[in-house]
């Protein structure tokens, strides 16, 4: 898929990462490290500009070969970098994908994650014609669980050893979104 792509919501715009976003990404990751590092292995103490650059380059390649879709999230009002939403683990067999997200700590509890997730889910259903999205959350990550629920995602199961991070397997809470779920959110987010 082309990299000159953009999704918009009433308060946000979402687009594929550009190499020029390296400083914004790095600053947000470093700011958010205490909130992110328990859940994602890539957010480690030594995360630096080289790590950010490598991740952005991989993100661009994922778009080009249609293996994943990572979107940088910005506020429309002042172009502030807010975080990331992504589709990964795309499966042609089940016509589905996993949806992931992280929002920088200074932007928590403002509804940005919910708004961005719903925009990405609409893209997944309307443009990619997927029929199911899964959000898999660590059992101790209560804020991310609440975010998943705020999108209208349905909690389906506690999946044993679903997540592998920091060298060990742990249980994950599996939420799902299907196209019909978004009709309830259409009025709120456009």
Tokens linked to 159: 């999946």
Q: 7-189 belongs to which CATH class?
A: alpha beta
pLDDT value at position 125? Answer: 96
pLDDT value at position 35? Answer: 72
> What mean pLDDT is reported for the chain?
88
| Band of residue 182 on the pLDDT scale cut at 50, 70, 90 | confident
| Residues 149/155, Cβ–Cβ less than 8 Å | yes
- Name, in order, each residue with C-beta under 8 angstroms of 133's C-beta and a sequence gap of 6 or more: 87, 96, 97, 98, 99, 121, 124, 125, 153, 176, 177, 178
| Band of residue 54 on the pLDDT scale cut at 50, 70, 90 | confident
Q: What separation in angstroms does the CA of 99 have from each of 31, 51, 82, 87, 187? A: 23, 22, 17, 5, 22
Please check the confidence at residue 75 and state whether its pLDDT lies above 50: yes
Give 141-180 pLDDT, tens digit per residue. 999 999 999 999 999 999 999 989 888 999 999 999 999 9
- Name, in order, each residue with C-beta under 8 angstroms of 61's C-beta and a sequence gap of 6 or more: none
Please check the confidence at residue 38 and state whether its pLDDT lies above 50: yes
Please check the confidence at residue 1 and state whether its pLDDT lies above 70: no
| CA 10, chain centre distance (Å) | 18
Please check the confidence at residue 78 and state whether its pLDDT lies above 60: yes
pLDDT value at position 187? Answer: 47
H helix or E strand, kind and range, residue 40: none
β partners of residue 73: 14, 83
**Residue boundaries of the structural domains of the chain:** 7-189
Query: What sign for the dihedral angle of Cα 1, 65, 125, 87?
Result: negative
Please check the confidence at residue 4 and state whether its pLDDT lies above 80: no
* C-alpha span between 77 and 136 (Å, rounded): 31
Return the axis-axis angle of helices 22-36 and 49-64, rounded to nearest 10°. Answer: 110
pTM of the model: 0.89
Q: What separation in angstroms does the CA of 100 have from each of 85, 156, 176? A: 6, 17, 12
């Amino acid at each position: 898929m082309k990299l000159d792509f953009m999704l918009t919501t009433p308060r946000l715009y979402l687009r594929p990462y550009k190499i020029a976003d390296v400083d914004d990404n790095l600053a947000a990751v470093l700011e958010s490290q205490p909130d992110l590092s328990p859940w994602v292995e890539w957010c480690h103490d030594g995360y630096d500009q080289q790590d950010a650059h490598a991740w952005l380059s991989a993100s661009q390649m994922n778009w080009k070969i249609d293996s994943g879709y990572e979107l940088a999230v910005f506020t429309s009002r002042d172009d502030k970098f807010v975080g990331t939403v992504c589709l990964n683990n795309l499966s042609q067999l089940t016509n589905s994908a996993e949806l992931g997200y992280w929002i920088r700590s200074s932007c928590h509890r403002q509804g940005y994650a919910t708004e961005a997730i719903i925009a990405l889910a609409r893209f997944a259903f309307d443009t990619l014609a997927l029929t199911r999205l899964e959000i898999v959350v660590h059992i101790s990550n209560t804020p991310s669980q609440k975010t998943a629920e705020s999108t209208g995602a349905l909690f389906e199961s506690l999946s044993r050893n679903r997540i592998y991070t920091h060298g060990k397997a742990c249980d994950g809470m599996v939420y799902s979104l299907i196209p019909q779920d978004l009709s309830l959110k259409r009025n709120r987010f456009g």
